[in-house]
Amino acid sequence: MRMYDLIMKKRNGGALTRQEIRFMVEGFTAGKIPDYQMSAMMMAIWFVGMNEEETLHLTMAMAESGEMLDLSAIRETKADKHSTGGVGDKTSLALAPMVAACGVKIAKMSGRGLGHTGGTIDKLESFEGFSTDISTERFIRNVNEVGMSIMGQTRELAPADKLLYALRDVTATVDNMSLIASSIMSKKLAAGADVIVLDVKTGSGAFMKKQEDAFALAREMVRLGKNAGRKTIAVISDMDQPLGNAVGNALEVKEAIETLKGRGPRDFTELCLTLGAWMLLLSGKASSQEEGREKLWETIRDGRALAKLAEFVTAQGGDGETVYHPERLPQASLTREVLSPADGYVERLICDEVGIASLLLGGGRETRESVIDLSVGILLERKVGAAVKKGQRLALLHGNDPEKLSAAHDRLLGAFQIGSMQRQEGPVILGVVED
């Protein structure tokens, strides 16, 4: 078999067989197929597309390109949640303790932020001493003993995807449905959970700007999960404006803590309850959405979810007491207000622009090597639909550098569209894909 022939076949509109996809993925992972041939193949796929069979073979070949995590030492059902990424998305921080407090084992692999979207690992590192760089043995022990653990992606997990993603990132081949679905699902399948709840974002801050694309991606991923024998569903949620009010690592941790005390923003709380209820339902801990939601609320009311977060942070080397003393989280030295330029309503809040404003403060990564400032970020005080008078505060920036604050201020101001039309704030949950 020759890679040249496979590129030609795909370029000419053909469908690759399982053997051909295996040859390509295994050869590329072993360094036998050079980047330039794989880049040509990715571009051919981008133009021609892949059918369902091909996408499934690509997913399984990438999942099996490295270690398939064996979680059989955890006897009960293991659940994982994955978000396709957004701005202010601190869902795992609140959701995982709530679900774990209901008795579902959470075994989760998370990533770092890149570009305008944040990552769970960075957020968790706001807890002094916390580490996700733990061995698989410790990960399994923590899931068994604490009920939840979050680790960084190991080098051995789906290495083909890691190499391929880096290539796609620089060859304008990220935004293809089959490639995104196989990339995400290869990692989820290799990470070993029995229940996979996907949070597929749509809107200006998401990969999938259009709802129909988000639904199509969700259907594709659910199909891949089910094909591999995992209980999988996808919730489609809004990312046309940031989730909750806080954007920035330590500020988001604080908001997640507030949510576990029952004082979270409406949209964020609703998303956590919906995703969490699905996790309980698929794990057999609830028989309906309503029962699931009620059980989750109970963990907030009686403090079990907050205690679970503290226990989890402590078990991974962090200062768990911070959960009860959020003032110990990293704090920026300066603040700057963003004021409304006119009377009216917030008609739009351009989501990725808010993410970029946080990035400009130093809260995100321009490149994989960037060091981020955990203390900086944005607290939004008005979101879509809110009435505002000229000179009233729209948001408060937290930063450590006056120049960065100034750049972020201008960017964030540009993200707010103030006009005379009062738009209703839309629902955060846009749909569910079960099969």
168 vs 254, beta carbon nearer ligand URA: 168
Catalytic site residue from 80, 89, 122, 161:
161
- Please, what is the minimum distance in Å from the beta carbon of residue 57 to ligand URA? 17
Question: Which distant-in-sequence residues (6+ apart) come within 8 Å of 325 by Cβ?
Answer: none
Is residue 187 annotated as a catalytic residue, yes or no? Answer: yes
The 3-class secondary structure across 210-237, one letter per residue, is CHHHHHHHHHHHHHHHHHCCCEEEEEEE
What would you measure as the largest C-alpha separation in the chain, in angstroms? 68
Q: Please say which residue, 126 or 183, places its beta carbon nearer to ligand URA.
A: 183
Closest distance to ligand URA from the beta carbon of 80 (Å): 14
Looking at the Cβ atoms of 85 and 244, the one nearer to ligand URA is: 85
Residues 280, 311: Cα–Cα separation, whole Å? 21
Radius of gyration of the chain from Cα atoms?
A: 22
CB closer to ligand URA out of 165 and 297: 165
Alpha-carbon span 155 to 340, nearest angstrom? 47
What's the closest the beta carbon of residue 201 comes to ligand URA, in angstroms?
Answer: 11
- Give contact residues for ligand URA (rule: CB under 6 A): 165, 174, 179-180, 183-184
DSSP string spanning 113-124? -BTTB--HHHHH
Q: Annotated catalytic, 5? A: no
Shortest distance, position 337 Cβ to ligand URA, whole Å? 34
* Euclidean distance between CA atoms 275 and 330, whole angstroms: 29
Work out how close the CB of 174 gets to ligand URA at its nearest, in angstroms, rounded to a whole number.
6
Between 111 and 431, whose beta carbon lies closer to ligand URA?
Answer: 111
Calpha distance 372→332 (Å, rounded): 13
Measured from the CB of residue 183, what is the shortest distance to ligand URA in angstroms? 3
Alpha helices in 30-135 (DSSP H): 35-48, 52-63, 91-101, 120-124
404 noted as active-site residue: no
Residue 341 to residues 101, 205, 221, 392, Cα–Cα distance (Å) = 45, 24, 43, 8
Q: Determine which one of 82, 90, 308, 398 is catalytic.
A: 82
- Residues 257 and 268: their CA atoms lie apart, in Å, by 12
Mode of pairing for the β-strands spanning 78-83 and 105-110: parallel
Question: Of 68 and 407, which CB lies nearer to ligand URA in the complex structure?
Answer: 68
- The one catalytic residue among 22, 57, 90, 187: 187
Q: Which residue is nearest to ligand URA (CB)?
A: 183
Q: How many residues in the chain?
A: 435
How many angstroms separate the CA atoms of 240 and 383, rounded? 11
In the residue annotation, 168 being an active-site residue is answered as yes
Provide, rounded to whole angstroms, the least separation between the CB of residue 81 and ligand URA: 14
> How many other β-carbons are positioned within 10 Å of the β-carbon of residue 156?
13
Clarify whether 420 is annotated catalytic: no
Cα separation of 96 and 102, whole Å?
10
Packing angle of the helix pair 52-63, 177-190 (nearest 10 deg): 40
81, 90, 162, 168: which one is catalytic? 168
Nearer Cβ to ligand URA, position 180 or 346?
A: 180
The residues assigned a catalytic role are: 82, 161, 168, 183, 187
